[in-house]
Every structure is written in structure tokens, then in C-alpha cells.
Amino acid sequence: MRFTKTAAAAIAAITLAAFGLAGCGNASTATSSEDDKTITIAASPTPHAEILNKAVKPIVEKDGYKLEVKEFTDYVQPNTATEDGEVDANYFQHKPYLDNFNKEKGTHLVSVETVHFEPFGLYPGKTKSLDALADGATVAVPNDATNEARALLLLQDAGLIELKNPEDINSTPKDITSNPKNLQFKELEAAVVPTVIKDVDIAALNGNYAIQAGFDVTKDALELEKADGLAAKTYANILVVKEGNENTAKTKELKKALNSDAVRDYINDNYKGAVVPVF
């Protein structure tokens, strides 16, 4: 019995010591987290990652931060990575897409800054001009709700279709009231649309995917959103973080850097109208 009490006392002492070490470890981790100067951000390769690596990185490094840019070629993973805390922020999307993503996926992501606008365009595939489109021509469009609506609005601007509400940013193919050329729609994930350009008559492309596909946006587009139109106000690309992180030091640093003169100059000098700063 005496041995058992002694052993129990020893075990209790070891347990307390272990809790004490764990507590020290947690405190150390908290301090380490507060002192963390590495900002991780998810982005599409073009133009977002280019802007971050070429123009933003020097600014944050001067302020004592390290910037790590993780590139994604789709429009889903950057948001899930931000929601899961794998990255501090993302930069690739516009507000309507974010709002729809939150609604569909149950995520808690918020916009904290607008940065630039990428004119959405119609680009030639098998058919090289809009006038040459034959009856029943195929148009590849993004299949997510916001970008498909954007494509439909642009087709309307080009005089190819008419919509029930000409300014409805939630339009779907069901809202088409006139389609004189009997256009057929090939609905695909936005990242896939540029890969089928040779198999369709024309394609509706987001600015970043048009650049990646090798198009000169201002020269090759058959129809392009206007920089002073509804689209520019609605579809500006934004800096996004998880709700609760709007006012962290890292978020404030990214906001300051992305809305700097250096970033504005980089965009204007390198994209020649394919990317337009909105700050």
C-alpha cells in the first residue's frame, strides 16, 4: 500500500510537469504566431501572381515581411485554402463570384480591398469574326453563375442575344429572350474554357485566362467589356481573407501594398489595358 501511494505521487508529479511544459509550449507558439512575418497568399498565375511577385513583394519585404505566393489554376482551391487557414489571403476573384461561392460552399470569406479590373472578352475559335458566326454556332462560356452571366451580358452587348433584364448580373441562359443565330452554349469550368478554344466557334474568357491562352486582350478580343461600364464597377478583382482576419497586421500590409503607386505603375506598364487598376 505504501508503494502504491509513492508511485501515485510520482505519477502526479510527472503529470503536473507535463502540463507545465505543455503550457510553456503553447505560450511559445502564441508568441511565435504573433511574431510571424511570413504572408502566404493564393493567386491565379496571371496577372495576380505576377503582380504579387513583381510589385508587391518588394514593398512588403521593405516592411520586414516575407511574401509567399501559392499559385492555383482554378477558381475553387484558392478559396478553400483561405477558409481552411492554409493561406492568409487570396487574390484572384471578383465580389459576385465570392458572394456566390460563400452561398454555395458555406464559407466565411470577405473582401477587404479592390485592386484591378480585367475586361471579359469574346475570343475567336473556329470562327474569326462575330459577323461570320453561322446559325447554330457554339460558344464556350464559364459554368459558374457569376461568370456565365458576365458572358451573356457581353454577348448581348455584341448584339448576338437579348436578355429579359439587360443589366441583370445574375442572368442565365433561361433569361435569353432573343437568339437569332441560335447560338449553342458549351458550359465549362472557367479554367477549361481556353483549352477548347479550337473546338468551338467563339469563347467567353476571363481576362487572366485570355492572357494565359496567348491572346492580346486589346487586339484579339472580338468584343470586350468597357473599362467605364457596369462590368468594371461590378467585377473588380479583390483581396480576400477569412472573416475575422480583416484587421490583422498581415491584411493591412497587403492592402497597403496592393493599392500602392508601384502596383498601379506595374499594371499600367505591363498589361496595356488588359488589366486596369481601380484604385
For residue 18, what pLDDT is reported?
40
Three cell numbers written together for 88:
492568409
The answer on 114 and 130 residing in a single domain is no
For residue 16, what pLDDT is reported?
37
The answer on 145 and 83 residing in a single domain is no
In sequence order, what DSSP letters do the residues of 92-135 get, joined into one string?
EEEHHHHHHHHHHH---EEEEEEEEE---EEEESS--SSTTPPT
CATH number at residue 244: 3.40.190.10
Tens of pLDDT, residue by residue over 153-178, are 999 999 999 999 999 999 999 999 99
Domain around 91: 39-119+233-277
The answer on 112 and 146 residing in a single domain is no
The answer on 213 and 177 residing in a single domain is yes
Q: Has residue 17 been placed in a domain?
A: no
Tens of pLDDT, residue by residue over 104-151, are 999 999 999 999 999 999 999 999 999 999 999 999 999 998 899 999
The answer on 241 and 113 residing in a single domain is yes
> Which residues of the chain carry a pLDDT beneath 50?
1-33
